[in-house]
A and B are shown apart, each in its own frame.
Chain A
Amino acid sequence: MQTLHFWKLLARTGIAVAAIFALNAQAVERVAPQVDTSALPAQAATWQEPNPLRGNAQAIAIGQSAFNQSCARCHGQDANGSRSPAPDLRRMGRGCKRIQDEALRQRCQADSDAFFIKSVRYGKQKFGIVHMPPWEDVISPELAWALRSFVENTPAR
């Protein structure tokens, strides 16, 4: 009876370990978004901040589609991160809009853009644990900026 209990426990542990590994593999999986970026301006093909596509309606639409294909899994559908495992990105740099001084406001937005683009390019890794994979070789700079434009134009309710 005790032997049977031991094997049952071992099987359950095995299933749990397999599930954890499966989840971890899913967590770092990168899905390249299927979007047409040809309509985006050529000068946006740079990793250099500030966001060259800020306020661009076409970029926002493309960014939304790409976000829901590749980022929503962790950051929430339509960037609604209120019930998501990864941070809610909608408030990132939002405080900059309240700054009256134009030079300061642009600097504030550039700082937020730099943090966003660095996170997208190189991902989030800490102590050997990959919390977010790097996306530099999966998405182009213009698509990364389109994602940024979409996220910062999505109201946080």
Chain B
Amino acid sequence: MHSFTHIALAGALCLAWAGTAAAQQAPQAQEGAGPGASEPLVINGCPIWPYTRCPGADLRHANLVGKNLAGADLRGADLTRADLRGANLSAADLEGANLTGARMSKASAANTDFKNARFIGTDLESARLMRSDFSGAVFDGASLEMARLNHAWFVGTRFIATDLQEAKFVATNLTNAVFEGNHILYTLVAESELGGCKGCRPDWR
């Protein structure tokens, strides 16, 4: 019984040590570049913090889950296959950014500039996109399922083979927008400007 207690104690100590070591290593692995635990993530010279200025940054495949990039200048940035789930992009500037294959479900991007951005196969499920500007953007094979798009602008925006189920286009500007081959089920389009829109359903007017 006595030796059993010693073995059990030794085992517990080993587990505790392993746990502490793992806990000490984990923050560094997550935080990235800096030596200290509080140092911010820096990817290809672009620091990940609110208001960061990284126009044209290479952020392909970047893990940006839950990161705060509010007010960031990411004009023309390449965010191909970046993971932005739950990230905050409110009031950021992503004009001309490439978001091909990016994961943006539940992201907050209210009042964000997405003019001429590319959303090819992008997952925007349940994203908050109110008052954002998507003019000239391309949604090709993307998912906007249950996305909130109230008061957003889509002047000349293309929606091709995109999932628009339960997407909320309330009080939006869809002037000269193009809809083709999309999945439209319980999509809410109300009080919106539809002048010159191609593929807009008659019951949206």
Contacts and interface: CB of A to CB of B under 8 A. Distances in A.
Given A93-B51, A104-B47, A127-B133, A115 B40 contact: no
Interface string B46-58: 0101111100000
B38 A99 contact: yes
Contacts of B42: 104
Interface in B125-144: 131, 133
A99 B50 contact: no
Interface in B106-138: 111, 131, 133
A46 B142 CA distance: 45
Contacts of B35: 100
B47 A114 contact: no
Contacts of A93: 50-51
A126 B111 contact: yes
Chain B: interface size category: 20 to 34
Interface residues of A, number: 17
A61 B52 CA distance: 29
Contacts of B39: 99-101, 104
B49 A95 contact: yes
A96 B40 CA distance: 9
A108 B133 contact: no
B169 interface: no
A125 B185 CA distance: 34
B153 interface: yes
Contacts of B153: 127
Contact of B34 (A96, A104, A111, A114): A104
Contact of A100 (B36, B52, B71): B36
A112 B153 CA distance: 27
A107 interface: yes
A157 interface: no
A115 B92 CA distance: 10
A98 interface: yes
Nearest to A111: B51
A85 to B, nearest CB: 15
Contacts of A95: 49-50
A95 B49 CA distance: 8
A111 B51 CA distance: 6
A111 B131 contact: no
A99 B111 contact: no
Contacts of A104: 34, 39-40, 42, 47
Given A100-B38, A111-B49, A111-B50, 4 more contacts: A99-B40, A100-B39, A111-B51, A115-B71
Interface of B: 34-36, 38-40, 42, 47, 49-53, 71, 111, 131, 133, 151, 153, 173
24 contacts: A92-B50, A96-B49, A98-B38, A99-B34, A99-B38, A99-B39, A100-B34, A100-B35, A100-B36, A101-B39, A104-B42, A104-B47, A107-B47, A108-B40, A108-B49, A111-B49, A111-B50, A111-B51, A111-B53, A112-B50, A115-B51, A126-B131, A127-B151, A127-B153
